[in-house]
Amino acid sequence: MSKRAVLELKVRNHPGTMSHLCGLFARRAYNMEGILCMPMTDKQFSKIWLLVDEDERLEQVILQTNKLIDVLDITEHAASHEVFEKLECFFNS
Amino acid sequence: MKISGAQLIIKLLERQGITQIAGMPGGANLPMYDALLQSDIKHVLVRHEQSAGFIAQGIARVTGKAAVCFASSGPAATNLITAIADAKLDSIPVVAITGQVPSPMLGTDAFQEIDTFGLMLPITKHNYLVRSIEELINVIPEAFSIALSGRPGPVAIDIPKDIQNQMIEIEQWPEPGTAVALAQPSSTELEQIQQMIESAQRPMLMVGAGVINADASEQLVQLAEQLDIPAVSTFLGLSVFPHSHPLNMGMLGMHGTKATSIGLEECDLLIGAGVRFDDRATGKISEFCPQASVIHIDIDKSEIGKLKTPTFAVNADIGATTRALLQMTSGCQRIEWHARIQYLKTKHAIITPEHGQLSNPYCLVQQVAEIVGENTNVHTDVGQHQMWTAQVYPFNRPRQWSSSGGLGTMGYGLPAAIGAALADPERMSLLFSGDGSILINIQELDTAVEHNLNLKIVLLNNRSLGLVRQQQTLFFKGNLSAINNRNAVNYAAVAEAMGATGFDLNDAADPQATLQQALNTPGVVLINVPISENEMVFPMVPPGAANKDLIEQQAC
């Protein structure tokens, strides 16, 4: 299995944001292994967690994602981040 | 004040300074067209929505400002797609506004319903499906701001008909959308560039359209002069340097001269300014500038390191960077390198035959340029004529040159030239086209005639799809497939039939005199010029090969 990284995105919460993000990954042939999205306490914003490959393209993935108008902020985490691990039980039962 | 959504759209466009809109009405944008009647904005009716996008591009490219096109839903929106995708690839600020079926009918496969949001999404800088009239108030200025900020690009706004008809009370207008301030280079970055240039023996500039977008052409030429650095230009960067400038080596890449290819092989520092290292420019990128350190200056951070890993990169305004470097550096001469460049330029110049016959594409382009003079905006379609023009046309000012670079859209030329003629009526709008390209949007001759534009079309007619024929000749053993359409169209007669003036050099006793007469004829003029189908564009780098492995001419 290739190495993974976790990206944490703060985005504008409105219809279309998800399409822009998924469209970007699809047309640039970036791998998206997992995606989680929920509105934040302030409903103007949503948080999106992405599980992606950590390879030589990751920097370009982040730069392109940052260009999306609805993406306000990106933080990069190591794959060991617990967000996807804690959800494991919902997917492997 | 209570107004409709459609009136709101038009009012916000007026506040953006929009004076002309190209488009076509249809069921889903009728309210906007109704509101347009009350406005001073001039509407330019097109004969195909694709042209509305290209006319907007023509306006935007010649003025540097954002331009607008209108289309209805369904097929009108799909027709726009190509022109918007073209604007994305060439970073042109266009705002495309489409009508959509009423919100309650969205998702029901209603008449002329199509997922315009989904279609525009991958080919725009950003796009919207407006969900409420309140949202509309902010979406329009924001669209302009996005289109103009940083690296420009197209923005599409899809507006359901019920939102156009809905009423709203407006108490205060939002500020018009403008470009946000550009990132500035830091002093450390500037010093690093200065140092790298100072320690280089054989530096080379590579200039792109980013320089034109930053309005920094003059300063960059000054900087090149001050530091005695020769320059190659990308296809869209042509016109940053005046053609005859001693430091200008012209276009690099697939149809660039051998001089640029050797110069880039030999340079020890490459300064990429407002470029994106496109494959048509670099050839096989792993073999591009093998000896050189690379400085990359670009306003789009994602372009830095995307294809060519720079030694040093600056993600900042090229204009501010150039101005600062002008102040920081003092004059220097690079006698040996300068002499080497001049030698290469002379040795590998594109040769124009001395006979001067207009059936030779270079003779034709150069003689047209001589007749029309500097006060001309030059356009091309896509194909051999485009490359011949790029190779030899004597550009002398930024924004004089307009062509479909990234997407390479045949059919771009005529509507884009119409856009330039509308936006810059003081200058002649000149179009070089081919018999392949012109037929794609020839219906717009009617539009040009309607507005009595100062538009001259020079049609290089080889009765075939020349660049395809060329590739089949060179790389497919001469097996010609689907390129000769036995094109027997009488283009001069077509022009006449559509109300323009047509000339044909085929039956001209004195072609030079006829060309002169045609280019001096007022209004819309089409000049058919027969070119041999055997003419090819050389040099040519085979697709996928390194630039140094160019083919100089066809082996006999």
Total domains in the fold of chain A: 1
What are the residues of chain A with a beta carbon less than 8 Å away from any beta carbon of chain B?
14-16, 19-20, 23, 27, 59-60, 63-64, 66-69
Give the structural domain span for B493: 361-540
pLDDT at B555: 56
Q: Is the ipTM of this complex over 0.90?
A: yes
Average pLDDT, chain B: 97
Chain A residues touching B305 at Cβ < 8 A: 59-60
Q: Which residue of A lies nearest to B121 if distances are taken between CA atoms?
A: A20
Minimal Cβ distance to B302: which of A15, A23, A64: A64
Query: Are residues B112 and B228 both part of a single domain?
Result: no
Whether residues B192 and B165 fall in one domain: no
Asked whether residue A1 carries a pLDDT value surpassing 90, the answer given is: no
User: How large a percentage of chain A has pLDDT more than 70?
Assistant: 99
Q: Are B387 and B67 in contact (CB under 8 A)?
A: no
- CATH number, domain of B115, equals 3.40.50.970
In a 13 Å sphere around the CA of B222, the CA atoms on its Cβ side amount to 14
Let me know whether B37 and B113 are in one domain: yes
- B118 to chain A: nearest residue by CA? A19
> Domain check: are B337 and B251 in the same one?
yes
Q: Is this model's pTM higher than 0.95 or not?
A: yes
Residue B554's pLDDT is 67
Q: Residue B81 and residue B114: Cα distance in Å, rounded?
A: 12
Kindly report, residue by residue over B196-248, the tens digit of the pLDDT: 999 999 999 999 999 999 999 999 999 999 999 999 999 999 999 999 999 99
Exposure pattern of B380-397 as b/e (b: 16+ CB <10 Å)? bbbbbbbbbbbbbbebbe
Q: Are residue B55 and residue B118 in the same domain, yes or no? A: yes
Tell me the pLDDT tens digit for each residue of B374-430.
999 999 999 999 999 999 999 999 999 999 999 999 999 999 999 999 999 999 999
Q: Let me know if residue B272 belongs to a domain.
A: yes
Q: Are residues B325 and B405 in the same domain?
A: no
Note which residues in 274-313 of chain B have CB less than 8 A from chain A. Answer: 300-302, 305-306
| Per-residue b or e along B41-70, where b marks 16 or more CB atoms closer than 10 Å to that residue's CB | eebbebbbbbbbbbbbbbbbbbeebbbbbb
Cross-chain residue pair A19–B122, CB shorter than 8 Å: no
Over residues A12-45, the pLDDT tens digits come to: 998 899 999 999 999 999 989 999 999 999 999 9
Any idea what the CATH number is for the domain that residue B281 is in? 3.40.50.1220
Choose among B240, B255, B253: nearest CA to B386.
Answer: B255
B121 to chain A, closest Cα gap in Å = 7
Confidence check: pLDDT of B556 > 50: no
Q: DSSP string covering B364-399, please?
A: HHHHHHHHH-SSEEEEE-SSHHHHHHHHH----STT
Q: Are both B461 and B385 inside the same structural domain?
A: yes
Indicate whether B177 belongs to any domain.
no
Among the candidates B141, B169, B197, a domain finishes at B169
Q: Answer whether residue B18 shows pLDDT above 50.
A: yes
pLDDT in tens, B275-290: 999 999 999 999 999 9
Q: What is the CATH number of the domain that holds A11?
A: 3.30.70.260
Which residue does chain B place closest to A14, by CA atoms? B131
Task: Please indicate whether, in this complex, the C-beta atoms of B302 and A67 are within 8 angstroms of each other.
Answer: yes
The answer to whether the Cβ–Cβ distance between A16 and B117 falls below 8 Å is yes
Q: Which among B121, B125, B301 has the least Cβ separation from residue A23?
A: B121
Collapse the DSSP code of B129 into the 3-class scheme (helix H, G, I; strand E, B; otherwise coil) and give the result: strand
Using CB atoms, which residue from A15, A20, A60 is nearest to B121?
A20
B296/B389 same-domain check: no
Q: How far is B146 from chain A (nearest CA, A)?
A: 8
Q: What residue numbers bound the domain in which A24 lies?
A: 4-91
**Tell me, what's the pLDDT at B509?**
96
